[in-house]
A and B are shown apart, each in its own frame.
Chain A
Amino acid sequence: MNIGTRKILDRSFTALGIGSIVVMAIALLIVLVPIVSNGFGAICFTGTVEHRKMLLHEFRRGGSESLTSDIATSDRYRSKVYGMLTQFEAELDRMEPEKKREYKEKYTQVRTALQALLGPMPGDPEPMLTRFKYGQTRWEKAEEKAHDLLYESKWDNSNPNVMAKEYFVSRAIGFQGTSLAQLFPYVRENLENMLIPKFTVYWGFITDSSVDSHFFGGIWPEIQGTFFLAVGAMLFAFPLGVIAAVYFTEYAKPGFFNSMLRSANSTLAGVPSIVFGMFGLAFFINTLKVSESKSVLAGALTLAIMILPTIIRAAEEAILAVPKTYREASLSLGSTKWNTIATVILPAALPGILTGGVISLGRAAGETAPIIFTAAVSVGSAIGLADVFSSPTPALSWNIYNLASEHEAASQIRHVQYGMVLSLVTIVLLLNLSAIVLRARISKKLKG
């Protein structure tokens, strides 16, 4: 091959490498940007007076003079709306039956839309669910609801050959000539006065429990559950894994039995996590009966089994990477095998072992399938440390799945879901970052 072709090949390979990295970076951005921007929306958003009311009533937090005056202001503006409604109801009563039926239906729609926007009206019975006790707590949602109030959604299916098209008709037109017609311009103009939007930083999203299955409140039980499960899994898997790795590298004699053990370990690393979940249910809960039913303990044990092969692998590699000369030096000083392992080999292998451990911790925090049957519940409060042996817990990974697929009002609380995703990504990222820092610090200490 002549020099020219060789250089061209070299350059084109470099270009290919840079290209693939750029593609990866773009893909990462496409995934991360919406997660981060929408996830922050769970904490920083424009909150209405309803949000502050909710905080005061559900969490006994934020009661202040400004809130009292806000509530008074909004009530003053709202009372006019309610006055209009009362006026129209009286008008409705006086109407002829046919006309009355026509307006009654439209009026019910308006009333429902107003309830969704502002919360229960004076004289309404106390709603059963907390989510109906308050109006819209977030300004962007309030604007949506206001739009629903002002415009009626209709579908144009006059042409059977094209797909039906949605269009909006102002509700004000339908009430022309009645006393309710004045309601619509009033709401349009005074929406801000009725809801008093303010920029809110709601750290409680991280530290609060959820209210009414994530409608309000935060995700602390999920974060804590994730923490319990991941740390619990590490408590079991890390010592076991390191001991197993020491056995494989230092004590195991080459032979059929040990090569079987090794290949079993590699196979275990490739088993789908849902299988571990089923195994955990069948083995830890049904057979060993570590708990009555789902519990943090059972989940942690299942996760431990799942991450064990990774930890063993990482520890084995780290131990094998320790120079043989350290071993020789230690043995030649009259140290026993165990002493050599404990005082020379394991300290020197520590950066690698810890890196493997922390990466496994991140994986344990993020896995969903193993905890579905063994530890996770969709709604629950934060559990105490003493309850880990008997109680299940909510966890970020499982609740993200739950909010995405099974929650009955998933579309209304997308921001909570994004917030959970961002929290989980942040936790895993922080763990990996700490692994890198830890590794660098220990390596520096070892190198002198």
Chain B
Amino acid sequence: MLMTADVRESSQSAPAQKTTRDIYLPPTRKTVTGGGAAHISAKEFSIYYGEFEAVKKVSADILSKYVTAIIGPSGCGKSTFLRAINRMNDLIPSCHTTGALLFDGDDVYGKFTDEVLLRKKVGMVFQKPNPFPKSIFDNIAYGPRLHGINDKKKLMEIVERSLRKAAIWDEVCDRLDKNALGLSGGQQQRLCVARTLAVEPEVLLLDEPTSALDPKATAKIEDLIQELRGSYTIMIVTHNMQQASRVSDTTMFFYEGVLVEHAPTAQLFTNPKDSITEDYITGRFS
């Protein structure tokens, strides 16, 4: 219980503290109201695969309702870190962690944490679109049904709202009973976003959501992230630095498991403090 509720309240009430959370925004971006507190915070957080330390003693605060991008070369631990937040790494038997990872002030890896409840609050969209082999409606309704909503009318409302939020309603509204695997890759990915939104999470984790998509579908996903910004805390892992600079408010740069730099996006891309960061963003290695 390191990051308690009153800390967040104080960060909002005290203007002096709030300015430290201020981040540079391009003039086109809408401002985020009510955000800026640390939603997720890592304290000396390490992740091991057996003996191998994949993420090394990361300490960082992820700001509520802002978009945080995670960049870094392949194998630097950025996906591992992201997947640690909703405990998807539990699927790998050899994986264990040290340090603390706090979500809303509660330890994600605490003894009494219910990972099922956690995952309801921390939704995830994966690299490859992975709709279930069910109808579009059943895909979206899957989460709400899990959490006990069985009323057909209510489900329909949720499905429509989620699909609208994910900006795919107009494309699929006339074929909700068709199999979701019949959609194009980009539509499938937005469907996956809608499916995640249907359980009303607080955090949205996007693990390279556009790496399997063509540029047009990528642009739609990026627009979608802009739409959702301000409503959800969003974290996005990406290989595409233009994408990171386009969509994110703050950026984390990982290198060999270490969080090298975590700064407002504009600052990190224009004025990196670390030489490795500079080498990476200027494309000297990848």
Chain A residues engaging chain B, CB cutoff 8 angstroms: 253-254, 323, 325-336, 339, 343-344, 347-348, 445-448
Does any Cβ of A come within 8 Å of B88's Cβ?
A: yes
A448 to B180, CA, bound (A): 7
A336 to B148, CA, bound (A): 13
Q: Looking at the complex, which of B12-20, B68-76, B120-128, B266-274 is the stretch in contact with chain A?
A: B120-128
CB-based nearest B residue for A442: B133
B84-138, CB < 8 A from A:
86, 88, 91, 93, 116-121, 123-124, 126, 128, 130-134
Q: Which secondary structure dominates chain A's binding surface? A: helix
Are B147 and A334 in contact, with the CB atoms below 8 A? Answer: yes
CB-CB under 8 A from B93, the residues of chain A are: 253-254
CB-based nearest B residue for A253: B93
- Known contacts A323-B130, A326-B132, A446-B133; decide if A332 and B88 are in contact (CB<8 Å): yes
Does any Cβ of A come within 8 Å of B62's Cβ?
A: no
Q: Which of B119, B134, B182 contacts A334 (CB 8 A)?
A: B119
Does any Cβ of A come within 8 Å of B166's Cβ?
A: no
Are B195 and A333 in contact, with the CB atoms below 8 A? Answer: yes
Q: Which of B91, B128, B130, B182 contacts A448 (CB 8 A)?
A: B182
Q: Which of A328, A332, A335, A348 contacts B133 (CB 8 A)?
A: A348
A-B residue pair count with CB separations less than 8 angstroms: 80
Are A332 and B146 in contact, with the CB atoms below 8 A? Answer: no
Are B128 and A325 in contact, with the CB atoms below 8 A? Answer: yes
CB-CB under 8 A from B116, the residues of chain A are: 334-336
How many interface residues does B have (CB within 8 Å)? 32
Are A325 and B180 in contact, with the CB atoms below 8 A? Answer: no
A335 to B195, CA, bound (A): 13
3 nearest interchain CB pairs? A448-B179, A334-B120, A325-B130
Are A333 and B123 in contact, with the CB atoms below 8 A? Answer: yes
CB-based nearest B residue for A336: B116
Are A343 and B179 in contact, with the CB atoms below 8 A? Answer: no
Does any Cβ of A come within 8 Å of B181's Cβ?
A: yes
Chain B residues engaging chain A, CB cutoff 8 angstroms: 86, 88, 91, 93, 116-121, 123-124, 126, 128, 130-134, 142-143, 146-147, 178-182, 192, 195-196, 199
Are B91 and A332 in contact, with the CB atoms below 8 A? Answer: no
CB-based nearest A residue for B129: A325
Q: Which of A254, A334, A447 contacts B146 (CB 8 A)?
A: A334
CB-based nearest B residue for A446: B133
A335 to B146, CA, bound (A): 6
Q: Which of A323, A330, A333 contacts B120 (CB 8 A)?
A: A333
Q: Which of A331, A333, A447 contacts B181 (CB 8 A)?
A: A447
CB-CB under 8 A from B124, the residues of chain A are: 328, 332
- Known contacts A348-B133, A446-B133, A447-B179; decide if A330 and B142 are in contact (CB<8 Å): yes
A290 to B60, CA, bound (A): 66
Are B123 and A328 in contact, with the CB atoms below 8 A? Answer: no
A7 to B143, CA, bound (A): 56
Q: List 12 additional A-B contacts (Cβ < 8 Å) besides A332-B119, A334-B120.
A: A253-B93, A328-B88, A330-B142, A333-B146, A333-B195, A334-B118, A335-B119, A335-B142, A445-B179, A446-B181, A448-B180, A448-B182
Are B123 and A327 in contact, with the CB atoms below 8 A? Answer: no
Are B133 and A333 in contact, with the CB atoms below 8 A? Answer: no
A178 to B217, CA, bound (A): 107
The distance from the CB of B172 to the nearest CB of chain A, in whole angstroms, is: 13
CB-based nearest B residue for A322: B133
A158 to B161, CA, bound (A): 103
A82 to B131, CA, bound (A): 85
A323 to B120, CA, bound (A): 22
